[in-house]
Amino acid sequence: MGFAPAEVVAGVRELLATRGLEASCMQAGGRSVFRLAGASIMIGALPPERASSALFHPRTLLALRGAGPLAEALKAAIRLKFLRVTG
């Protein structure tokens, strides 16, 4: 993602609050981790070995783990929230 990790954390926090979802956010290994019932969202800087091939700067890695309707809805909402048109 072409956003700073802190910017992505703030955006995900806002997205969850807008949807009325309770999530704890903790720091683990240099990453922010949101834990919800049925899903977890990990946000951190893109590892250096992967950063050289990324198009956008700054480079942030977001991983959403989970299954079911909640996880799918969050995936779609996060994509829309951070959609950036380049041209």
Name 57's Cβ contacts closer than 8 Å, sequence gap at least 6: 2
Q: Residue 37: what pLDDT?
A: 86
Burial 53-75 (b: 16+ CB within 10 A, else e): eeeeebbbbbebebeeeebeebe
Domains of the chain: 5-81 (3.30.310)
Kindly give the pairing relationship between strand 39-45 and strand 31-36: antiparallel
Q: Residue 63: what pLDDT?
A: 93
Tell me: the pLDDT tens digits for 11-69?
999 999 999 998 889 998 889 999 998 899 999 988 777 666 656 666 788 999 999 99
- Is pLDDT of 70 > 50? yes
Stated pTM of the model: 0.82
Name 52's Cβ contacts closer than 8 Å, sequence gap at least 6: none
- Is pLDDT of 73 > 60? yes
Q: CA triplet 13, 19, 64: central angle to 5 degrees?
A: 55
Give Rg (Cα) of the chain.
13
